[in-house]
Amino acid sequence: MGGTARYLAETGLHTVTGVDLTPEYVEVAGALTELVGLDGSVTFQQADVRDLPLRSASFDAAVLLHVGMNIDDKESAFSDVARVLVDGGVFAIYDIMGRRDAAFDFPVPWAASQAGSFLATADEYVEVLEATGFEVEHVVDRSTFARGFFSSLRRRTGPPPPLGLHLLMGDEAPMRYKNMVDAVESGTIAPMEIVATTRKRLS
């Protein structure tokens, strides 16, 4: 819904472009952005991250937040991200990642079944990043933070907030969240932070 783009704009970045594959999400993201008065610095485009309609070397940074689990061809996606970044551009990733062949229950927030989930390990992310023109700066497991966040959510009382991902997931939202939390707490999956920079291009 464009929350990440709006947050980045609010923290002082001059222009932010959000991309999503689903036209309805782009429409809603634009409406919410206009509602909070950030439409002058944030725009959204409907596009496939594997084939971005953006000029080469035109962005200083890119962010992938809880999206990689739905991308089957990460090599094409990361290659195109590298293309649109300037030399030394930053690519920050925060995704749910797994252990090879580790099983967990579906549905989860990003997929109703195994068929729609393209979970990869942190090592696989690093391998693809390095193959597509990036140097990996760091890889951090954020499971401890996530467990604390989940614990704070359990202590909350009252109805859910008026806006949130639960609106998209509908009646399955509680089960989707439960399965994800159980998998994180068991160590089967983990929220991982990866920061990489583009290598200098040869002229």
CA distance 17 to 22: 15
Q: Does 161 reside within a domain?
A: yes
Domain CATH number, residue 167: 3.40.50.150
Q: Higher pLDDT residue, 8 or 203?
A: 8
Distance CA 178, CA 175 (A): 5
Closest-CA residue to 100 (of 121, 70, 74, 73): 121
Task: Report the alpha-carbon distance of residue 39 to residue 6 in Å, rounded.
Answer: 9
- Integer Rg of the chain from CA: 17
Instruction: Report the distance separating Cα 92 and Cα 117, nearest Å.
Output: 21
Strand partners, 20: 46
| pLDDT for residue 201 | 64
Query: What is the distance between the alpha carbons of residues 162 and 156, in angstroms, rounded to a whole number?
Result: 15
What pLDDT is recorded for position 166? Answer: 67
User: Count of domains in the chain?
Assistant: 1
Could you tell me the CA-to-CA distances from 186 to 102, 105, 143, 144 in Å, in that order? Answer: 11, 12, 10, 12
Answer for the pair 72, 50: CB distance below 8 angstroms, yes or no: no
The average confidence (pLDDT) of the chain is 91
Band the pLDDT of 152: cuts 50, 70, 90.
confident
pLDDT tens sequence across 164-199 = 676 676 778 889 989 999 999 999 999 999 999 998
The pLDDT value recorded for residue 143 is: 93
* Parallel, antiparallel or unpaired: strands 16-20 and 59-65: unpaired
- Examine residue 10 and state whether it is found in any structural domain, yes or no: no
Contact between 191 and 96 under an 8 Å Cβ cutoff? The reply is yes
pLDDT of residue 73: 96
Q: Is residue 145 part of a domain?
A: yes
Asked if the structure places residue 27 within a domain, the reply is no
Does residue 125 lie within any of the structural domains?
yes
Nearest CA among 110, 105, 104 for reference residue 169: 110
Whether the CB-CB separation of 86 and 60 falls below 8 Å is answered with yes
Instruction: Answer whether residue 149 is part of any domain.
Output: yes
Longest CA pairwise span in the chain (Å): 59
Q: Which residues contact 36 (CB under 8 A, 6 or more apart)?
A: 6
Q: Which domain holds residue 117?
A: 48-198
Please tell me whether residue 21 adopts helix, strand or coil conformation.
Answer: coil
* Any domain includes 113: yes
d(CA 29, CA 32): 5
pTM of the model: 0.90
Whether 14 maps to a domain, the answer reads no
